[in-house]
Each structure stands twice: as structure tokens, then as C-alpha cells.
Amino acid sequence: MTKYYDFKTEINQKELQEVATFLREGKLVIFPTETVYGVGANALNPKAVDDIFKAKGRANDNPLIVHIADFDTLKDIVETPTEMEQTLIDAFMPGPFTLILPKKDCIPDNVSAGLNTVGIRMPEDKIAHELIKAAHTPIAAPSANLSSRPSGTKVSDIKDEFDGKVSAIIDGGETKIGIESTVVKVIDQVPTILRPGKITPEDIKEVVGVVQIDEHIFKKATGAVESPGMKYKHYAPNAECLLVYSDDEQTQIDLVNKNIKDNTIVIGFKEHQDKIHASEFYVHGSIHNYDEISHNIFTLLREVDRKKPDFIIIEGVKKEGLGIAIMNRLIRSTSYHYIEK
């Protein structure tokens, strides 16, 4: 049975302790972070970690990231970071940032899917932080969604996917950022973005002077990849989807209009609502506000999918700043059906 906890307006300390105890006992708990909801378990308990893979239907060669609440725990679970890694930690933790580091033996092999590295994240969200602290153990937590579905950014979207499969669900309202953390691994002295997020390439470059973006961010992965998650279908609605982008606004509007078929829903900019001739139009945000689009996109994909359209057309954004992360998710949610002119 799943117990529900409402921490939307405030954290109930007694209930928080109860949920922390579930985690210590090896049970699964869904909790909010500033990026997306996570389905968490005690990262030091291989049986509990295995249950996460089962609950999500996740391939067991796709490693989990480990969430911590303080830097002492970091020392216990990973080897001493290099100077550059430490600079990144100082700059971006806590926050929407995951750093891949060489793991110590206490991290079970199923967490890291057999790799000798593990992703570490220190959420800044208050509920996540207090829960991890109260659990007194690092927490393995992938995004709360069935494998291949859009990540959960509010409880009503993921309730049906996990009801009965987890011991607790904490409702903290809609997550602030809406897309998952930036995943970075320092490779040959260069911080390499394996998954883009709210922390942008520019943010990283500003701190350490160099940055690179893995070539698979916008491309389908074939063969060996740095991050196993790149191989898998992700963020996908059930309907067929098309992503459309042009640097020229009018060309983008024309492209959308040209591709509309019967029973098509368009997801696009609020500024284009009257210019795009779809029977149903959903706003993902303003052309001038990528934070708004990032916040809305996953829940919107789910909402539109529930309408069972035959076709979904999504307006893309410029691949710049947070736009890189938005386009990475949209390209994958449309299964690489992408037109750019």
C-alpha cells in the first residue's frame, strides 16, 4: 500500500521521520526535487536498489544517480575529486547538477550498473534535502516515471504509474525546473555534458574555462556511449510526434501549419496561438521564457497524450542556454522526428 503525504505548504516533521524510516528499511519513496520527482531507495542496500529497477521497468545496464545532503557523505562514497571536479562541486552543489565520479566499494554494483563510476547529486529542494538528511543514508533515485515515459513533475501525473509499488509518495507541488539535472563527467580534464539541464555549458565554462557537449545530445546513440541513458527511448508520449524549428519565426509557423493533419494537437509558443491553425493548441510557454517551457514541458506532453491525438507537433526552441536541454528532451520525446529549416 502506498501512503500519501502532503508537504505542499509545509513539511510535517513527524511524517518526514516516518518516510525516512521507510527509506532506511529498504522501501521505495517518491519525493520532489527542484528538477523532477525521484523514486528513491537506500543506495547502500542492493535489494532496495533492485526494487527501483523493477518499479520503473528500467534496463539494469542504466545506472542510477545517488543523492546526498552533505559533503561528509560524499567522502564516504566516492574517491577524492580532482581539482577541477572539486571546483565544479563548489560551484554547483547543491543544485540541479550531477557529477560522475569514481565510486568506492560501498556503492553496490547495481546502482552503477557495473561501472566503476557513480553520479552524485545534492538537491537544493528543501523537502529532498531534509528527507535525505533524516534518512542518514545516501539515496539512489532516478526520475519518477515508468521507463520511456516523460519524467514526473507533479504527483497527479505519476500516481497511476506507482500506486501500490512504492511505500510513500510525498507531494511537494509542481517541481520548479521541470527537467532533470545537468549530468557532467570530467574527461581528459574537460567537463563533458552527458545530459544538458538548467546548469548550461556557459555556466560551466564561466567557472572552469572549458566545457564540451557529448555528441549524442541531439543524435541517436549507436554503439558505445559515455552515459547508458542516452541509448534508451525517453520522454515519449504514445502518439506520433514531430518537432519543428527554424531560426526564422515565420518559417517555423509555416512549417507547423504545413504539417498539420487530422486530429493533430500543436504544442507551441503563446505568441503563436493565433497564427497556427490547429484545432487544438497548447501553450508550452513564451518565446522569450525558456524557464517557463522547461517547467511545463513534461506535464504538457502527458496532458496532450491523454487526449489521444493521432499526431502531436511541438514547436522547438533555439539550441542555446537552457534551450539545449529543452531540445535534447524534445528531440528524444519525438523519437528523432525533427525538421529544422
Asked if residue 121 binds ligand TXA (CB under 6 A), the reply is yes
Provide the pairing of β-strand 65-67 with 117-121.
Answer: parallel
Asked if residue 251 binds ligand TXA (CB under 6 A), the reply is no
Asked if residue 295 binds ligand TXA (CB under 6 A), the reply is no
Whichever of 42 and 143 has its CB closer to Mg ion, that residue is 143
Neighbours of 160 (CB within 10 A): 9
Q: Which residues pair with 269 in a beta bridge?
A: 285
Backbone φ and ψ for 11, nearest 5 degrees, come out as -85, 125
Rounded Cα–Cα distance for residues 141 and 271 (Å) = 37
Cβ contacts of residue 25 below 8 Å, gap of 6+? none
Among 141, 170, 211, 293, binds ligand TXA (CB under 6 A): 141
List the single partner that 227 binds among ligand TXA, Mg ion, none, CB under 5 to 8 Å by kind: ligand TXA
Asked if residue 199 binds ligand TXA (CB under 6 A), the reply is no
The span of 41-49, 116-124, 253-261, 286-294 binding ligand TXA (CB under 6 A) equals 116-124
Q: Which residues pair with 184 in a beta bridge?
A: 99, 193
Identity at 189, one-letter amino acid code: Q
**Number of residues located near ligand TXA, criterion CB under 6 A:** 28
Among 74, 100, 120, 293, binds ligand TXA (CB under 6 A): 100
Asked if residue 259 binds ligand TXA (CB under 6 A), the reply is no
Helices (H), the chain: 13-24, 46-56, 71-77, 83-92, 126-135, 155-162, 201-208, 249-259, 290-306, 322-333
Contact 211, 205 (CB under 8 A): yes
Rounded Cα–Cα distance for residues 219 and 283 (Å) = 26
List the single partner that 100 binds among Mg ion, ligand TXA, none, CB under 5 to 8 Å by kind: ligand TXA
The span of 71-79, 112-120, 160-168, 294-302 binding ligand TXA (CB under 6 A) equals 112-120
The span of 43-51, 138-146, 157-165, 308-316 binding ligand TXA (CB under 6 A) equals 138-146
x/- track of binding to Mg ion for residues 139-178 (CB under 5 A): ----x-----------------------------------
Asked if residue 112 binds Mg ion (CB under 5 A), the reply is no
Contact 242, 333 (CB under 8 A): no
Site for ligand TXA in 13-72 (CB under 6 A): 33, 35-36, 38, 62-65
Report how far apart, in Å, the C-alpha atoms of 189 and of each of 85, 182, 192 are. Answer: 9, 18, 9
List the single partner that 157 binds among Mg ion, ligand TXA, none, CB under 5 to 8 Å by kind: none
Residue nearest to ligand TXA (CB): 229
Which grid cell is 118?
557513480
Site for Mg ion in 126-145 (CB under 5 A): 143
What is 234-252 written as a DSSP string? Answer: -S--SSEEEEEE-SSHHHH
Rounded Cα–Cα distance for residues 286 and 112 (Å) = 38
The span of 16-24, 84-92, 140-148, 299-307 binding ligand TXA (CB under 6 A) equals 140-148
Contact 180, 297 (CB under 8 A): no
Rounded Cα–Cα distance for residues 306 and 8 (Å) = 25
**Which residues of the shown chain bind ligand TXA in the complex (CB under 6 A)?**
33, 35-36, 38, 62-65, 98, 100, 112, 115, 117-119, 121, 141-143, 180-181, 183, 194-195, 226-229
**Which residues of the shown chain bind Mg ion in the complex (CB under 5 A)?**
143
